[in-house]
Amino acid sequence: MQINFHAKKLIFLILFSSLLMSDERFTNTNNIPNLKSFGDFMKWSFSRKRPAPIKIESSDEWKDFANLKENYLIWIGHSTFLINIEGTIVLTDPVFSDRASPVKIAGPKRIIPPAMQISDLPNIDVVTVSHNHYDHLDIPSLKKLSLKNPETIFLVPKGDQKLLNRKGIKNTREFLWWENIEIKQAEFTFTPTQHWSARGLADRNKSLWGGWFMSFPNFKTFHAGDSGYSKDFKDTQVKLGKPDLSLIPIGAYAPRWFMKANHVNPEEALQVALDLGSKKNYAMHWGTFSLTDEETLEPPMLLKKALTKRGLPKAFFEILKPGQLKEVKLN
């Protein structure tokens, strides 16, 4: 028990002490700092609320995806979506491990398993990674995907390619904000968000972070990654157009005094959808890991309240079950 306690403390420090380091390489577009003082870090560390995790309901609709040749998406959990649009198959921020952590014995543990396993997936054309935090860039998952289909192309932020290559994942491309690549009939553009990066004590902001705007011949999709609220989303709409569908985080936002700069809350997530001009939106980044202080079921409840307050229908910004299959209608 004592070993487990110390292991948890070590992982906690590895994951969050980089917030205290000032040796930055990349910065947010608005130059908003994402550093916290040591006092702030200790205040949160020792006063944290630790709500009991609640397992959210999953769906086995995903098993029917083989009946649809294309034009569907499935929320696998957290920020991981399987997307098949016009024959291009994309997997976003794949995390299939039990923990979002550098080690297996400690760190944030899954509340629910992935709705699908890697063995259940079709061959993936493109994997997109938004940033290098352990709940978004999971090396064991990426290695398994690379072995499953060596033709899979991994798109990562600037600074993360060397990590993947070092782990034997060679078919990689890395991007600065607004850089893009065409794969099959789709264009993938890396866009700015307000966040930060680190996987240890000495690599604070030495790789970039962002979202992925995917333009297919008759459909546009946006995956927002992680972000605090900023004008980056309005800029994305101006530069790339209005998405037909956006995937937007709604969780990991409490306490606001500590998380606001880096994670939108549900009301801000709704504003992100409006800033993008997105026709349809699905929630992500909730219900999978207990990363911060809000209750497991609070994010979808607050999102529903925000929709009602704005006079918007629930269908504008939906809460999916992990494993739920949604057919996509092209323009």
Does some domain include residue 252?
Answer: yes
Does some domain include residue 222?
Answer: yes
Q: Which of 135, 132, 142 is nearest to 165 (CA)?
A: 142
pLDDT at 54 over 90: yes
C-alpha radius of gyration, the chain, whole number: 18
CATH of residue 165: 3.60.15.10
Does some domain include residue 25?
Answer: no
State which residues form the domain around 55: 2-19+36-327
CB neighbour list of residue 63: distance below 8 Å, 6 or more residues apart: none
Vertex 182: Cα angle to 218 and 264 (nearest 5): 75
Long-range contacts of 21-28 (CB under 8 A, 24+ apart): 21/198, 21/201, 21/202, 21/204, 22/204, 23/204, 24/204, 24/205, 25/159, 25/205, 25/206, 26/158, 26/159, 26/197, 26/205, 26/206, 26/207, 26/208, 26/209, 27/205, 28/192, 28/194, 28/195, 28/230
Does some domain include residue 28?
Answer: no
- Among 23-27, 100-104, 126-130, 321-325, which stretch is predicted with the lowest mean pLDDT? 23-27
Does some domain include residue 64?
Answer: yes
For the stretch 171-182, pLDDT in tens is: 999 999 999 999
Does some domain include residue 26?
Answer: no
pLDDT at 122 over 80: yes
User: What's the total number of domains in the chain?
Assistant: 1
Does some domain include residue 27?
Answer: no
Region 268-278: mean pLDDT is 98
pTM of the model: 0.92
Distance CA 315, CA 281 (A): 8
Does some domain include residue 120?
Answer: yes
Region 80-108: mean pLDDT is 95
For the stretch 144-194, pLDDT in tens is: 999 999 999 999 999 999 999 999 999 999 999 999 999 999 999 999 999
